[in-house]
Structure 1
Amino acid sequence: MHKVQDGGRGREQEEVEIRKEIWIALCVLALDQVSKLVVSAFMSPGDSVEVLDSFLRLTYVHNPYAAFGIAVGPPKLHFLFSSLALGVVVWVLLRSGSGLQRHALALVLGGALGNILDRLRMGEVVDFLDVGI
């Protein structure tokens, strides 16, 4: 049945799904910021604590660079690239039909928003999850 034939229920369902993804992203953003506040309150930059042997550590660092410490130029360029990546995530999320894919993208979106907020406030990102790969 076409969306017009179902009296707009398809559109209403789509709006409900988008609201779910927004809530997921906002919850992740809140957890991101609270966890960074907790880490910065109890650790000093450079401190590291093993959580799961050498596989997972909490290592508190301030990262002025892009993902994985890659330098891409001045801070404004970092912000531009982050904003573009954020736009791509939103674009893909809005076009995804899969609930699982949408939820995963909402998680990424929340984390990306947290990092952009860090960059706007401090000019760098607080990182603390250190996975020994």
Structure 2
Amino acid sequence: MLGVTAVLAVALDQWVKWLCTEHLTEGEPVRILGGLVYLSLLRNGGAAFSMGENHTWVFPVITLVVIGWIGYMTTRLRSLPWAISLGLVLGGAVGNLGDRLFRAPGPFRGHVVDMISLFAPYAEKFAVFNIADSCLTVGVCLAVLLELTGRQRDGRRVVHKKAETA
């Protein structure tokens, strides 16, 4: 399930990026859903909110470490919810890594294609993001929820007893 989730996430991310680079023009946002969502083609050399644009090479290195950690975790993974969570994180990481490796201005310096903006074009009120970013966010939030509810990656569930008050 982890592999299927990751492959679907990467495929959807790359397909949407291809559609946007083929049909959108930078500087010309497209308003959809009554202005709830804008498609605003941007190329981001940094991380979230364009942080670290001068250190683009760091992001693929971090991503490779995350991919390695997920690979290690799969050897002990026996939980469907954890497989989906880690599959989303893996898919999101690989989707953006592909941009970093294969898009301009060059390997390990490539800019990530972002296009989704909520409520206003060009992140006037919120960030501009892509499908990979969404997968990463949902996967991490699911992982936090699984941890908080005591669900273990090996399929066990740990129940924490509440402390008694006197």
Taking structure 2 as the reference length, the TM-score comes to 0.58
Q: Which has the higher helix share?
A: 1
**2:27 alignment partner, one of 46, 60, 69:** 46
Q: Is the 8 A contact 1:60 1:127 kept in 2?
A: yes
CA distance in 2, matches of 1:49, 1:105: 32
* Number of equivalences: 114
- 1:45 corresponds to which letter in structure 2? E
Task: Compare relative contact order (CA 8 Å, sep 6+) and give the higher one, 1 or 2.
Answer: 1
> How much has 1:97 moved relative to structure 2?
4.2
Is 1:119 the counterpart of 2:119? The answer is no
Structure 1, unaligned runs of 5 or more: 1-19
Is 1:109 the counterpart of 2:83? The answer is no
- 2:21 corresponds to which letter in structure 1? S
> How much has 1:72 moved relative to structure 2?
6.2
Taking structure 1 as the reference length, the TM-score comes to 0.70
Structure 2, unaligned runs of 5 or more: 104-109, 120-125, 127-166
Indicate the residue corresponding to 1:131 in structure 2. Answer: 118
- 1:125 corresponds to which letter in structure 2? V
CA distance in 2, matches of 1:95, 1:69: 35
Is 1:60 the counterpart of 2:47? The answer is no
CA RMSD of aligned residues (A): 2.3
